[in-house]
Amino acid sequence: MRKLAWWFCMFGMTLRRALYRPVFLLFLLIFPLGMGVLHQVEKRDSGRIAVALCPGTDAWNQALAERLESEESRSFFFYPCGTEEEAKEAVMTGRAECAYLFPERLKERLDEGHYTRAVRVMVSPSTVAEKIISEKIFSELFEVYGRELLADYGKNGAAFQTVMARCQTTEAREKECGVLMELYEKYRSNGSTFTFDYQTLQGGTALQTGAMKVVFPVRGLTAVFLFIMGLSAAVMAGEDAERGLYAAVRSRERWLLQTAEIAAFVFLASISAYAALLASGNGAEPLLEAGKLLFYLVFVTIYAFGCLAVCRKPGFLAALIPVFILASLLLCPIFFDASVFLPGAAGVRKLLPPWWYLSGIFGSQSVYP
């Protein structure tokens, strides 16, 4: 009981000490405010990618562009652009992810068999969606042009010459072509035609429509924030020991007071982190979120004290904090999963507390894209 009383006494003294540090309190206040502002920006942002279309003056091109503009997609949207210069400026300034330029007489070029390089595309060097947008555009182009090809083939194709020869009037030929188009629509949409169905899976289940919007990784940054606060508190605990703050305490009991000091700073940081989760819309279950942070607080405290015990010198541990920050951001699944590109990252990141928080051991889930 005496040791436990010492621990809580040191914990309370450190809390009071931290509350008299304006810079520390300001930092704790900025974190949830920043997450809240970013959340509001995300709510105003549709999350969709803008794509510019330049159909020119050709009527067939304009009809195709209007069809694309009317399509509803949660991932991207199309908007008309007057000239090639306007499209280039939109891509260069970031207003559009890419721009597609339809040449004049596009249908006639396709009729003549000039399929390659039929449509020009301008892309930003940082784009990651150009391939899937191109697939969408050319699928819609085929939706329009494919019917015209089928109608022409029904009238002039070798396979239908016998059928059309029996049709004595234009109305009869049109009727036969109408039957052909009905069969085309039937077998195109009833699932019997060979197609690919792409689904993005998460935990073995398909994501709902619109779930692919990339969000700011609040949980990941919260995990790193608490981890760095724990390491910084360990550095301060080591410096206090060097200044003789624990001189009156036996060395075998000094760890109690140092862990209390670390835990106090991480506890205040956890309050800030909890407020950040609530402000960013991640607090659907407040009690559960508080429990997750409580377990992570204990884990970070033990880990930070272990780092101090291994390094022995607080200055050396302070020098390692930037390394821990970079390792956490690059190896842990915060912005992306580095193990996809670096197979060794899957093992190394298990040495970092943020990975355990994001992997689900405390009930949390990773939010990397």
Per-residue pLDDT of 299-357, as tens digits, reads: 999 999 999 999 988 999 999 999 999 999 888 878 777 776 777 777 888 899 998 88
Phi-psi domain of 43 (left: phi exceeds 0; alpha: psi -120 through 50; beta: other): alpha
Chain centroid to Cα 104, Å, comes to 38
Q: Which is more confidently placed, 97 or 236?
A: 236
List alpha helices for 94-246, DSSP H.
106-111, 130-156, 161-166, 170-189, 218-242
| pLDDT value at residue 43 | 59
Q: Which is more confidently placed, 142 or 25?
A: 25
CB 30 within 8 A of CB 276: no
Per-residue pLDDT of 255-304, as tens digits, reads: 788 888 899 999 999 999 999 888 887 766 788 888 888 999 999 999 99
Per-residue pLDDT of 51-109, as tens digits, reads: 888 888 888 888 888 888 887 666 678 888 878 888 888 888 778 888 888 888 888 88
| pLDDT value at residue 54 | 87
- Mean pLDDT value across the chain: 77
Of all helices (H) and strands (E), which one includes residue 317?
helix 314-331
C-beta neighbour count of 357 within 10 angstroms: 27
CB 258 within 8 A of CB 7: no
- Residue 81 Cα distances to 78, 131, 212, angstroms: 10, 20, 27
